[in-house]
Amino acid sequence: MLLYFIKTILLFSKSDVVPILAPSLAVAMVLAGPTDFTAFLMGFFWLELHLLTFEIKNQITGLEEDRLSKPHRPIVAGRISTAGAQLLYLCVGALAFAFSMYRGVAACSILYLVAIYCYNEGGMSRNWFLKSFLGSIGYVCYCWGTTVIFDHGNTLSRISITAIATSGLLHTTTGHAQDFRDRPGDAAIGRRTLPLLLPPRLARWSLALLMSTWSAVLIRLWAPPSPVSLILALLGLTSAAKFILNHSVESDRNSYLWYNMWLITAHLLPVFARITWWRIVGPTSFLL
């Protein structure tokens, strides 16, 4: 029964390891600087609790979509009942908030839980802009809370605030990349995402333009070495080209993986600003 429960928990957040967990941890490790193993475990646990809180509620409200496009998820697969999932959601959400109180990031959790309510119970995820905007709030909270915990409770530095705000804007403007693979499910429940609202070529070319623009902006902002800039540009161009050239759902899943590699690389770039400060100011630069 214990192994069954653990597998059920893992299945709730399985699809978010690459698009959410990896970029958030990358940002936090870059912004907090060197941390110890205990702080890393605490930050990881905090992040996973909050991610799981969202995923459980999102899957409770998105049963019809999951039956079509994500039948492996626990509720539609019959591993847990809707009532059981609702009880699990309340318990995990309460634990996440209690842990935030303990680690001094309660404000972050309050913002996050309000965003979850608006996204799911409030039905705002059915609107393409609100879906991306609320999703970006989630990313901001993931990076905010995890960074503070990795940094042993210190307040966010100026570089950290800039990086996290930039991450929020990045997700607001390009986060709909995930919606191309979810078109059948979104259409079934009446969700109005950009890939469904816009003509296919316009939706895909506009995403490519946004990714290219962001690559240039991030390179300008964080000034990484030329090889890193080239890697970011190539990952963005590869993902954009794949989105444009093949419109099948299966291809969109592969294109989204390339998008996430580009996204993770983009989230690592602030490390070069930290290195520059370290060289100029010394160890006190991590307080700036």
pLDDT, tens only, 184-222: 888 877 888 999 999 999 999 999 999 999 999 999 999
Secondary structure, 3-state, the chain: CHHHHHHHHHHHHHHHHHHHHHHHHHHHHHHHCCCCHHHHHHHHHHHHHHHHHHHHHHHHHCHHHHHHHCCCCCCCCCCCCHHHHHHHHHHHHHHHHHHHHHHCCHHHHHHHHHHHHHHCCCCHHHEHHHHHHHHHHHHHHHHHHHHHHHCCCCCCCHHHHHHHHHHHHHHHHHHHHHHCCCHHHHHHCCCECHHHHCCHHHHHHHHHHHHHHHHHHHHHHHCCCHHHHHHHHHHHHHHHHHHHHCCCHHHHHHHHHHHHHHHHHHHHCHHHHHHHHHHHHCHHHHHC
pLDDT at residue 230, as a whole number: 97
Spell out the domain ranges in the chain.
8-287
Average pLDDT, the chain: 91
Does domain 8-287 fall under CATH 1.10.600? My reply is yes
pLDDT at residue 278, as a whole number: 59
Q: Name the pLDDT band for 21 (thresholds 50, 70, 90).
A: confident
pLDDT, tens only, 125-177: 888 899 999 999 999 999 999 999 999 999 998 999 999 999 999 999 999 99
pLDDT at residue 71, as a whole number: 87
Q: Name the pLDDT band for 286 (thresholds 50, 70, 90).
A: very low
pLDDT at residue 234, as a whole number: 97
pLDDT, mean of residues 220-230: 95
Amino acid making up residue 195: P
